[in-house]
Amino acid sequence: MSVSDNDMTAAWADYRKERSMKKRGNQAASTERLREAGIPFATYNGGVHLVVADRVDFWPGTGLWIERGPAGVRGRGVQGLLQRMKEDHSNARRT
């Protein structure tokens, strides 16, 4: 059984549509989690890119976050970002 070019094209189009919907859902859910946690952030490019607490670049659709500065710590997921923010907040209070 062979797959025609039209079938493959349709399959890829469906895949791209599903990924796009998934990213939009992630974007909305992750942004809401930051709001609920009371973490300040600035929104850019229609919510595709967030700058969290003036020091972390976050792309909620994919979950990628990168701390600004020389260390450039990277991570994935809003939960990991929230944990990192909590750790940094705890360390700041100790010093």
Tokens of 60: 């909620």
Quote the pLDDT of residue 5: 87
Quote the pLDDT of residue 29: 97
Domain boundaries, the chain: 5-94
Beta strands 74-76; 64-67: pairing state? antiparallel
The span from the CA of 80 to the CA of 56, in Å, is 12
Does the pTM surpass 0.75? The reply is: yes
The span from the CA of 64 to the CA of 72, in Å, is 12
Tokens of 68: 């600004």
Whether the per-residue pLDDT at 49 is higher than 80: the answer is yes
CB-based contacts of 58-63 (< 8 A; 24+ apart in sequence) = 58/30, 60/26, 60/27, 60/29, 60/30, 60/31, 61/23, 61/24, 61/26, 61/27, 62/23, 62/26, 63/26, 63/30
Question: For tokens 């850019």, what's the residue?
Answer: 44
